Structure 1
């Protein structure tokens, strides 16, 4: 017996040791412990204004804190989903309720700094906002209580920017922060009045520059995340806790503790967030969550997921403070990568594409405690269609049942702007009733950047924003820069815990504006009942005995009973019934009328109107809903469009065939066959597993890829193959896809080609080849852009037009603003014979010096096509390379350097530039359609700029690699096969 007891003790001790060991493995100690420096007590703004020491906001006309990225780990072609976002259709087909209009909007600043970094927080009596590098205080009616003030009023001599404003309602204090060269500056009001109370200011040093700092409130600290040390974020401190209790008291010994984020993967620039407490109750101390997304297009990430770390600080013994290894939560696949990681992404009506703010959990991640769970809501931008120019917002509500339980996805959605514009730069919050608000910016090539909001009620169907889009501000001009934001913010009025205050950036009147929008989703009326949706019938007109089912909602604050409801067909006498159940505030209720509807006539359209008539209803705008019902086949699925591949240059041997499929019928369909044929090859089949409801359009990519590498025409036919389909005329689509490879073919056999080409030191004579295209990009000349340059062309036929382009932006596309010789004519009206002509080369202003591709193209008897990839009946196309230089003193340290690309095998490549340069360069990789698939900064090491990249997932084809900066570049073609 004793032996057995000893065995049990040994086993238990062994298990305890294992548990302790596992616990130790799951946590890491803090990597930085600092005490604040230079704590000061700063007089109030009122005192400064009275004494004449007030410093007004400075008009700054420049880019503040140029956005930089660390080591980028994007793998071209890697990651899912391919094509459309899988949650987009769920949002697009959802029923939308009438939203409440803004209670108040006002302009918080008009500035010229790029970007403004809009931030603001509401308190019981004030709204405080800040921007680069200023702030202002308002009352809650939108009236200014101070002039626009420099941040140096609070932080003497410091105005670097990236400010954040918070209101800590648990102590009734405002905080204003900014960074300095190597640290954080934090100010907290000494009382509840930010105008008349003084400030405690703190300085917390960091090891390196803490870019993009984001602050959050937790019970045991103020937490900060920063975009720093991206290549070593798993081992270097990138998250910080500030000693909140001492900061509130103005204690100069307040500490800061820094932590790494173990096992994090980043896309160079990165921005995780600590959860920020909103509402009326603080959580227990400890277990502070930090959240970040992980995109499977990044190296080292196998599938899309969220990581959540937990920080436990010990202010008495800071060395005992720990951060856990992350909890990983698998998500529905998302595509968070735009243009290989570059900062120029979303088109606008004019000017450069603007930053989508990718790889960023948008500020703030809002945490709230409820009676039976804890919630957090947050969002980030995603690509909606796989083309990197249309964005939506992936948003989440995570929940945990108790403070020690793991977090789980309660709901997950992708918000797509209903008019087809991009939606991005989201800011969101959750009110005391559980209603969620999402504010955001829209933009497109027809819509100027503008501010909008949507939302959902707590009882609504999960995973969708159910409220119609409302407007905070309409822009009237494009962003003059690619920089946007860099963030926006939403807080909740602590007076009612229901009213949302959002601030964001838009453009009008020649300036960057920060606009505040104030709105509420919770009911404003005691009595407000309305119709949400018609659930049946939905178009399948079967007989004379159709049930009519509707969903109604109590939008008011008080419960209701005996609600009159009606439906009416084609202006006939309404059918009236009463809902006798009690429906509580915010509750959805589905009701089926006892009286059925006669919808038996074929080839007839019916207008079905449903409405409520609650006595003394205070809001009639949501009482009725009109739907049109038309005869539909039960089963009818067809092809809507062939999305990819498209005719053009550079099609590869590994092209994905992508189609759009529409459910034209009344019944939902899933698990049906689709197929395609290419030329005379056997049909290839696929299966659509997703459910498609009436009018749903679904983007489907066949799993098998096809070879479009040869320069020729391809006959592609796609089919739906739904068993029992009642309408076959929409099942098939056919298209001819042409691969031109941007090596345009022309007939130069009669002398219309380029016999001799001269520019700079290039003096090249050639004969006509069979295709009419030749790549001579191995021939290079230095060209001084500030000196006259002459191009000479010799042909063996007259009446030949000449056009030339230089790919100044190195995106592998010759564009209209890159033309340097525009359809000059050689020997007008002449026939065969040798003719030469010289043309002056016109260089546009502000071009980038360095290496670029040059294309020269001839066409006999007619002008050269506008598209440099188009063929001409007679003529030739030749590609060269030029090294553009300037005599005006631009650094020439790189001019003699050669860009080399090494094939390391196994799909791995290395770009090397030997140079004595000291500053980082930008490397970018473009496919032949001009799409950026990789973008990053490269730092010099031992006289070399070296960058390795993985092309295992990229389609076979020709790519253009560029290395350089805003002043110069080197380019090189790369063939992947």
Structure 2
């Protein structure tokens, strides 16, 4: 979270001198729709720098003291000295958003990255950049072209009036981005905290792309944080396989007796992906996180696990020591089950790991100015095959020196008390002066982990490096340490990080992308830059493979009876040859799918097939996720597309009426537009009426228009006469669209 200190001080004085009565606003749950716009800021055009503060749960003074004394309790770094093993390579390196292209020159950037089949999205504190990937004929990543160079996130989120940004609020700011890609729904998301410094109030802003193309339109929500004078600091957001979006954060309240903000507790939020994708009003579920089992104080900085493929979400936190105590040794696993049903949030348990201290600040050449490494909170978590990997920065002894190191873990037995499967510290006694900090990791489909981080030393400017891990490997890191980007100069700033981002590429399940900060030279001065890398780990035991993709991922909605088509592309990887059989599942009732051809054989060039979906009048409206599967022997890969059917539906209330002969009764008939249905619907006739008892409608027709109301009501009145025979009548209310689509609903009439 960042603030403009120059503005805060006079405002804080004003609030103390003239207390205001603050009333919390109603929940901001309605979305707005917009798209990313280039900021127009020329490269190299630098404005005033704005530094955001860092909140440690026990206060920055306690953290500074713990860092100064960390040498007394720092563990040895011998657990993770690099070992030769699975080789890896960097397929691509891209200059990302930097201080010159950022909208407000915010320091530090807080890096986040998401990767889809075609696009790469990098977000920093106030700017987003998007690339389109390119591949050669063998299916190997060969490059990336900038599609959006620098879109201002203050302007983007400022389209929602309840996001407090510099574009719509003089004291507004956005900060702490998270971004992720949902393979099942083919959508990108971006979450940030927005903050009004005048009232010390905030809202959680969430944007989801309306298709798989992040350069197109997005849907933006704003959810107010309560109480009114509070900020959700350090929010982290990820998609999950259970149909939810999860966001965690540290609640910071204003203010203590000295007028300083203070940490109160950690929170987790759950949002329905379906609501966000549909652009409808929605509310989150919220849980308050309990205490850390080692300190007995409120746990902080829970990290939701990326890639979670099971129902619910797993979170990891690490004890965050101050002085006293100097050291900690506890990593805790949490789980949230069925947030919109049973809604059970539990501390699954904790494991004892090698003792660690706060990471000392890192040196750099040519100056005594240190790079801030923040604290020992957990920074990254990734789910794979019912285990979770996690990592953070700590203080450790490397050679004879106490330095900042990266400590990592793998946890198993996730649905009971967790087990520590393996742990390690990335350190190298042959290079004892190198400090490592701000780690981030992801796991490929072969269970290989790329663990990337920042580094510097008295001989090395601040750059980026990585190593590799393996599932249940006693040797710890498999690959030797490799440099992603060397630093280019001395970085004279009190802030760095605060975190980096790593994501698995769904194109092949093998390429791991990383975005992080490095010291970038601007021709005479050094400021922050970001570097985006594509890493691939070679596994000697891997075999040839293929990937599968389909377009359009989210085509426009069709009427029942239409026959939409999709192009399916199968690409050979690592010399794959053979036939791939295609199938589709997830079709709604009344719809069938056919491939032409039903089997393809990719080679030097990808092979394509056309999937034709045939719908009928029996296909009801809605958005359906179709899974397209390719099978070759024992190798199976799948991709998803959506089928949107626009339709209308009838409902009646009440479903039964009782009337005396000679009297009248009425029902409310509601016509609802589904998935963007437009056109005129005519009500009637009504079948099953008793003789001499006609039905009439207050509105005989209803019309739906694009962007208009999505439901309409008509009162159906039935008039009986004295000669109407008593009995129970099953009525069928019919409605017909202008295109001939017929929908019915049943009701009961009891005549006495």
Does the Cα contact within 8 Å between 2:111 and 2:516 map onto a contact in 1? yes
The alpha-carbon distance between structure 1 residues 444 and 236, as it changes in their structure 2 partners (threshold 3 A), is closer
Distance, in Å, in 1 between the alignment partners of 2:51 and 2:461 is 23
Matching residue of 1:516: 532
Distance, in Å, in 2 between the alignment partners of 1:447 and 1:69 is 28
Matching residue of 1:119: 112
Please list the CA deviations of residues 516-541 of structure 1 after superposition, one character each: whole Å capped at 9, or x if unmatched: 1111113489799xxxxxxxxxxxxx
Distance, in Å, in 2 between the alignment partners of 1:80 and 1:474 is 27
Distance, in Å, in 2 between the alignment partners of 1:523 and 1:212 is 36
Distance, in Å, in 1 between the alignment partners of 2:67 and 2:448 is 38
Give the Å deviation of 1:345. Answer: 5.0
Distance, in Å, in 1 between the alignment partners of 2:540 and 2:96 is 26
Matching residue of 1:654: none
Which of residues 233, 236, 242 is equivalent to 2:271?
A: 242
Give the Å deviation of 1:504. Answer: 0.7
Matching residue of 2:9: none
Matching residue of 1:44: 35
Matching residue of 2:206: 186
The alpha-carbon distance between structure 1 residues 272 and 458, as it changes in their structure 2 partners (threshold 3 A), is same
Which of residues 186, 200, 210 is equivalent to 2:232?
A: 210
Aligned ranges 1:258-337 → 2 under 5 Å? 258-263=287-292, 271-278=300-307, 282-284=309-311, 286=312, 288-294=313-319, 299=324, 304-315=329-340, 321-325=343-347, 327-336=349-358
Distance, in Å, in 2 between the alignment partners of 1:263 and 1:105 is 39
Matching residue of 2:54: 67
Which of residues 78, 81, 99 is equivalent to 1:89?
A: 78
Distance, in Å, in 2 between the alignment partners of 1:388 and 1:354 is 17
Which of residues 162, 184, 192 is equivalent to 2:176?
A: 162
Give the Å deviation of 1:132. Answer: 2.2
| RMSD (Å), alpha carbons | 3.7
Distance, in Å, in 1 between the alignment partners of 2:418 and 2:71 is 24
Distance, in Å, in 2 between the alignment partners of 1:390 and 1:229 is 30
Distance, in Å, in 1 between the alignment partners of 2:67 and 2:447 is 39
Aligned ranges 1:348-387 → 2 under 5 Å? 348-362=365-379, 364-369=380-385, 374-385=386-397
Does the Cα contact within 8 Å between 2:70 and 2:326 map onto a contact in 1? no
2:420 is the alignment partner of 1:409: yes
Give the Å deviation of 1:473. Answer: 0.8
The alpha-carbon distance between structure 1 residues 196 and 263, as it changes in their structure 2 partners (threshold 3 A), is closer
3-state DSSP of counterpart to 1:479: coil
Aligned ranges 1:698-777 → 2 under 5 Å? none
The alpha-carbon distance between structure 1 residues 205 and 84, as it changes in their structure 2 partners (threshold 3 A), is closer
2:422 is the alignment partner of 1:422: no
Give the Å deviation of 1:180. Answer: 1.1
Distance, in Å, in 2 between the alignment partners of 1:526 and 1:236 is 45
The alpha-carbon distance between structure 1 residues 526 and 77, as it changes in their structure 2 partners (threshold 3 A), is closer
Matching residue of 2:93: 105
Give the Å deviation of 1:60. Answer: 4.6
Please list the CA deviations of residues 268-322 of structure 1 after superposition, one character each: whole Å capped at 9, or x if unmatched: 99852333242xx7202x3x33221125666579962112223335425xxx744
Does the Cα contact within 8 Å between 1:121 and 1:128 map onto a contact in 2? yes
Give the Å deviation of 1:83. Answer: 5.4
The alpha-carbon distance between structure 1 residues 214 and 152, as it changes in their structure 2 partners (threshold 3 A), is same
3-state DSSP of counterpart to 1:198: strand
Which fold has the larger relative contact order, with Cα–Cα distance below 8 Å and residues 6 or more apart in sequence?
Answer: 2
Distance, in Å, in 2 between the alignment partners of 1:209 and 1:446 is 39
Matching residue of 1:789: none
3-state DSSP of counterpart to 2:31: strand
Matching residue of 2:406: 393
Distance, in Å, in 1 between the alignment partners of 2:519 and 2:69 is 35
Matching residue of 1:131: 124
Give the Å deviation of 1:220. Answer: 4.8
Please list the CA deviations of residues 574-606 of structure 1 after superposition, one character each: whole Å capped at 9, or x if unmatched: xxxxxxxxxxxxxxxxxxxxxxxxxxxxxxxxx
The alpha-carbon distance between structure 1 residues 160 and 494, as it changes in their structure 2 partners (threshold 3 A), is same
Give the Å deviation of 1:500. Answer: 0.5
Aligned ranges 1:446-485 → 2 under 5 Å? 446-458=459-471, 461-462=473-474, 464-485=476-497
Matching residue of 1:225: 248
Does the Cα contact within 8 Å between 1:345 and 1:354 map onto a contact in 2? yes
Name the structure where strand makes up a greater proportion of residues: 2
Please list the CA deviations of residues 5-34 of structure 1 after superposition, one character each: whole Å capped at 9, or x if unmatched: xxxxxxxxxxxxxxxxxxxxxxxxxxxx99
Does the Cα contact within 8 Å between 2:187 and 2:212 map onto a contact in 1? yes
The alpha-carbon distance between structure 1 residues 511 and 443, as it changes in their structure 2 partners (threshold 3 A), is same
Matching residue of 1:174: 188
Give the Å deviation of 1:126. Answer: 0.2
Which of residues 149, 152, 155 is equivalent to 2:151?
A: 149
The alpha-carbon distance between structure 1 residues 291 and 39, as it changes in their structure 2 partners (threshold 3 A), is same
Give the Å deviation of 1:494. Answer: 0.7
Give the Å deviation of 1:463. Answer: 5.1
Does the Cα contact within 8 Å between 1:164 and 1:178 map onto a contact in 2? yes
Does the Cα contact within 8 Å between 1:310 and 1:324 map onto a contact in 2? yes
The alpha-carbon distance between structure 1 residues 55 and 171, as it changes in their structure 2 partners (threshold 3 A), is farther
Give the Å deviation of 1:323. Answer: 2.9
The alpha-carbon distance between structure 1 residues 135 and 252, as it changes in their structure 2 partners (threshold 3 A), is same
2:196 is the alignment partner of 1:199: no
Give the Å deviation of 1:406. Answer: 2.6
For structure 1, which segment, 265-274 or 496-505, has the greater mean C-alpha deviation from structure 2 after superposition?
265-274
Does the Cα contact within 8 Å between 1:80 and 1:334 map onto a contact in 2? no
Distance, in Å, in 2 between the alignment partners of 1:194 and 1:409 is 38
Could you tell me which runs of 5 or more consecutive residues in structure 2 were left unpaired when the two chains were aligned: 1-23, 100-104, 134-142, 160-164, 166-172, 196-201, 545-573, 577-752
Which of residues 257, 273, 280 is equivalent to 1:251?
A: 280
The alpha-carbon distance between structure 1 residues 390 and 289, as it changes in their structure 2 partners (threshold 3 A), is same
Distance, in Å, in 1 between the alignment partners of 2:295 and 2:480 is 35
Could you tell me which runs of 5 or more consecutive residues in structure 1 were left unpaired when the two chains were aligned: 1-32, 339-343, 529-555, 559-977
The alpha-carbon distance between structure 1 residues 190 and 388, as it changes in their structure 2 partners (threshold 3 A), is farther
Please list the CA deviations of residues 157-178 of structure 1 after superposition, one character each: whole Å capped at 9, or x if unmatched: 6252222221122211111121
Distance, in Å, in 1 between the alignment partners of 2:296 and 2:108 is 22
Please list the CA deviations of residues 427-481 of structure 1 after superposition, one character each: whole Å capped at 9, or x if unmatched: 111111111111111111111001111103447x425112122221111212211
Does the Cα contact within 8 Å between 1:79 and 1:297 map onto a contact in 2? no
Distance, in Å, in 1 between the alignment partners of 2:66 and 2:156 is 46
The alpha-carbon distance between structure 1 residues 224 and 267, as it changes in their structure 2 partners (threshold 3 A), is farther
Matching residue of 2:723: none
For structure 1, which segment, 376-385 or 254-263, has the greater mean C-alpha deviation from structure 2 after superposition?
254-263
Question: Greater CA radius of gyration, 1 or 2?
Answer: 1
3-state DSSP of counterpart to 1:282: coil
Aligned ranges 1:825-864 → 2 under 5 Å? none
Please list the CA deviations of residues 134-153 of structure 1 after superposition, one character each: whole Å capped at 9, or x if unmatched: 11111122210123110134
The alpha-carbon distance between structure 1 residues 296 and 79, as it changes in their structure 2 partners (threshold 3 A), is farther
Please list the CA deviations of residues 161-206 of structure 1 after superposition, one character each: whole Å capped at 9, or x if unmatched: 2222211222111111211121211100011011123334333433
Distance, in Å, in 2 between the alignment partners of 1:439 and 1:167 is 20
Give the Å deviation of 1:366. Answer: 0.6
